[in-house]
Amino acid sequence: MLVEGLGEMKRTGTASLLTLCLLAFSAFTAQSGRSDDAIPAPTDSPTPILSSDPSASPSATATILSISQRSVATTAIPALIDAPVPKVLTPSIIDAPLDRPTPYVDRCHTQQDQTASKSACVYGNLKSKTTIVLFGDSHALSWFPAIEKLAIAKNWRMYSWTMSSCWPADIPAWNSTKSILMTNCAIWRANIVKKIIALKPKMVFVAGTRGFATIDSDGNILQGEVRASTWVAGMKRTVESLKKSTAKLIYIADTPLSIFDPHVCMTAHLSSLKACSTPYVKAVSSAWLGLEHQVAVDENISWVDPTTWICSTDPCSPVKGHDMIYVDGGHLTATFAKTLEPALWAQVTK
């Protein structure tokens, strides 16, 4: 399908970057045999290589990614040098699963099976005339410590509105664990977008997982290119609404994942960090990054790619210095996330 699509676009001259991204995403999910999180199957080369012939196989997918995401994956990833797990870690291996952002504790983060919090969910300087907002699902919440640190440093007021398994894209939220449609997600999302528009904040930070599930009007679970194109349309609808509220809308790309439960794995492998490290091509979906990036380009909003802040080697280590990176396979520890504030702010102000 990928090569055929490229051939047709070469003949007609109708290729767009977004179409190329969708084709690449579809090809990657087909290769990996899974569509739940768009993680590509392992290959010998973790970084797409630019080919002189876009229609050549098997490098066609890598070529498309190189064309459509020049700022996403352009340099080689250095190999991880194995070492024992550091004796001193923050949080400790035992405490890592509990090192979550404040809204988990004060219940401002809405769980998928609960009603939305009635609290104001406001942080930083509550009296400040400058307001910023964090909006999205639990992957967005991973950024709370960094953005709260920013708000405190700037003496700003911050609202945090997040909900588990309720991605910011305006699409149905399917709970694949319980096989039910989360009707409360659409209600919550619409209400929060209205609140954000009314606030007219200085900045809005948006993020969401690539591991979502959604359905069509007949209740069929979407996969591959259809799933991706549905997300694109839904994300653009959300962005268009949010652009009415602020001059600075920042989309933060999804973070690298761990295929391990880090604290369980590291407890069992204290002599080797590499034993609990995730191959780059399983931690990072270059296809999905390209898709997110192209939506940001099309909508003329800011896009931040934190991939190298979290994974700078192949495989991706679960530890950065003496900081535990992950609470679990998909969420950052609050301690580590807080260290990302300088890098985030540098990107926002570029």
3-state secondary structure of 274: helix
d(C-alpha 202, C-alpha 349), whole Å = 13
CB within 8 Å of 185: residues ≥ 6 apart: 112, 163, 165, 166, 172, 173
- Residue 23: which pLDDT band, with cuts at 50, 70 and 90? low
DSSP string, 79-118: BPPP-PPPSS-BS-TTTGGG---HHHHSS-SBPTTSPPP-
CA atoms lying within 13 Å on the CB side of residue 213: 14
pLDDT at 62 over 90: no
DSSP code at position 278? B
Choose among 283, 292, 255, 213: nearest CA to 18.
292
What does the pLDDT read at residue 297?
98
Mean pLDDT computed over every residue of the chain? 84
CB crowding 169-197: b at 16 or more within 10 Å, else e: bbbbbbeeeeeeebebbeebbeebbeebb
Choose among 84, 145, 142: nearest CA to 319.
84
High-pLDDT (> 90) share of the chain, %: 74
Each residue of 333-347: pLDDT tens digit? 999 999 999 999 999
The more confidently predicted of residues 108 and 13 is 108
Q: How much is the pTM?
A: 0.82
Superfamily (CATH H level) for 96-348: SGNH hydrolase (3.40.50.1110)
- Residue 350: which pLDDT band, with cuts at 50, 70 and 90? confident
What does the pLDDT read at residue 56?
30
d(C-alpha 6, C-alpha 65), whole Å = 13
Average pLDDT rounded to a whole number, residues 296-320: 98
Each residue of 87-125: pLDDT tens digit? 999 999 999 999 999 999 999 999 987 888 888 999 999
pLDDT at 53 over 50: no
Where do the structural domains in the chain lie, given as residue ranges? 2-68, 96-348
d(C-alpha 158, C-alpha 133), whole Å = 6
pLDDT at 158 over 70: yes
3-state secondary structure of 276: helix
What does the pLDDT read at residue 273?
97
Cβ contact 32:61 at 8 Å: no
CA atoms lying within 13 Å on the CB side of residue 71: 11
Average pLDDT rounded to a whole number, residues 59-87: 63
d(C-alpha 130, C-alpha 158), whole Å = 9
Cβ contact 238:170 at 8 Å: yes
What does the pLDDT read at residue 73?
47
pLDDT at 32 over 90: no
Q: Please report, as a single letter, which amino acid is at residue 218.
A: D
Cβ contact 198:151 at 8 Å: no
Average pLDDT rounded to a whole number, residues 157-166: 97
pLDDT at 195 over 90: yes
pLDDT at 276 over 90: yes
Cβ contact 283:316 at 8 Å: yes
